[in-house]
Each structure stands twice: as C-alpha cells, then as structure tokens.
Amino acid sequence: MIHPPRLQTGDRIGVVAPAGPPDQECLHQAVSFFEKMGLNVQLGKNIEKVNGYLAGTDKERTEDLHHMIINPEIKAIIFARGGYGTARIASYLDYTCIKRNPKVYWGYSDITYLHTAIRQQTGLITFHGPMLASDIAKDNFDHVSASMFEQLFRPITYTYSEQFGPLHVFAEGEATGMIVGGNLSLLVSSLGTPFEIDTTNRLILLEDIGEEPYRVDSMLNQLKLAGKLSSAAGFMLGDFADAKAKVTPSLSMNAVFQSYFSNLNKPVIAGFKMGHCLPNLAIPLGVEGYLSTGNKKLIAKPGVQ
C-alpha cells in the first residue's frame, strides 16, 4: 500500500464536491477550520455549480478533482460533502495519475465509492472522516472529531474502544487485516462493477444513514449472497443514523445484525462512532488493523508516512 505524505504547516489543500452540491455558506464557514491548522485552502473552480442533485455535470466534477490531483501544490483533497454522484465519475478518473501523485483523500458517505475505487486501482491509503459543509460547519461539530485530523500531520496508531461509547459484540474473535469499507449502500452499489469491493481477509467498516431495518437487511443479504460476508476477516459496524422503521411490524436493527453476523466465525463489533454521527471518528482505509472482541477494540496503523 502507498502511504500519502504527511501534511506540513503552510501546505495547500484542495476542496472539491464530487457528489452533491454543498451549501456555500457552510462550505466557506468551514474553510477557517483548516486555516487555523496553518493550512491554505483552494476551492475547486466548479464547486458552486449545481446540476439537480449533483454539484455540476459529471465532466465538471471530474475536472475539479483531476485539477487537484495533478497540481503539485495541492497536498490533500478534502471533500466538501457526500450526497450522491461519486459512482458516476469513477470510470472517468485517471488512476495512473492518482498513483503517480499520492496525496491525502478525506471524506465519507458517498465518498466511499471513491475510497474503494482509488484503493483498489492504485493501492493508495485514503481517509474516512468528516467533511466541510456536512460536518465541520455545524455548530455541534465536536473537539474529538476535530482532533482526528491530527493523523494527517504525523503517523498515529489509533485505538478505537469504548472510550468513545458503548460497543456490542455480535460474534466473538480476533483478526488482523486491511481496513476497508464505509457506507453500506455504496459498497452494495459497487457489486458487479469494475470497482466491486474486495472483502477477502479484510476488516470491513459498515455504516449508513436513513436506511430502515428492512433496507439494511436487503443490502446485507446481497453482500452475503455475493460472498462478501464469508470472505471477510471481521466487521466493525459504525453508526446507522435515522434508521427507525417507518412501518410496523419490523425487525429491530440489532435483530437484523444478529441474523447476519452472530453465526460468523469472525469478530463482529457494533457501535463504533464512525459515520453520520458525533463524534465522527476518522479512520484510514487501506492500513492494517487489529480487531478484538476480548477487550472490544480496533487498532488501526498510521495512514501517512
């Protein structure tokens, strides 16, 4: 795997919106967060574009991302928000160029598709963490989430445990493997494409928002039938926000998780504060991890060199 170079004070970072259009007031408000870190911020030239539920056309969003990739002054690319749209541009990206110009890529939610595509096409480590307009600009953005950006400035080995909230074990065990994953619906949407998620001997992070139990059931079933659950080394279940069933009767989310994970002969821990929640604990994807139910912890090796 390729570790992107760490950031230094005075570095320039690029901000683009490869999916949905960000609220411009929130976007500009969040810029100061990075400036206080000693970083300079450059916004994509098309970041104000709106094309329905997309932040401009596929061409415009791809152009903004490519410009940041090839610009040697840009040391990191932080995504403005998620929404929908990254899968539409995945096949247009120049992965050879991405590999030749390794830098930090940071975001989550719909950005999961780019995390998966970039890692599997180039071997580059990327970062699953909070974004500008959808997280950092909010009044309740907390210091724990903010502190996670420290891992971009120096190699940090993180331990994720019940220090950040209660964890629940669905299947006992311990395992090591590459940490991959992200948003459940995006991982499912990769199946049958050139960017299909590889779960073989991996530790899989799963999170989502606004999906009722029956929808999560359907998506986990698809992963199961595709062999993605049986091939994995273990699972970390992150936050599943706004997941209350709108119709009754319904299985609970825990009952859904129980049916898919309790009989797996591999560790499965739920409750990690990763995803659409606060704190939103950032984690590098593509690094080696260690998951243990004995002391309910996940250890992730550093993402930068």
Catalytic residue numbers read 109, 207, 276
Count of other CB atoms within 10 angstroms of residue 123: 12
Spatial contact of 209 and 241, defined as CB atoms under 8 Å apart? yes
Give the β-pairing of 174-183 and 168-171.
Answer: unpaired
Q: How far is CA 159 from CA 131, 207, 261, 270, 281, in A?
A: 22, 19, 23, 15, 11
Q: Residue 261 and residue 264: Cα distance in Å, rounded?
A: 5
- β partners of residue 51: 54
Residue among 149, 192, 183 nearest 284 (CA): 149
Q: Which residues contact 170 (CB under 8 A, 6 or more apart)?
A: 237, 257, 258, 261, 262, 268, 269, 270
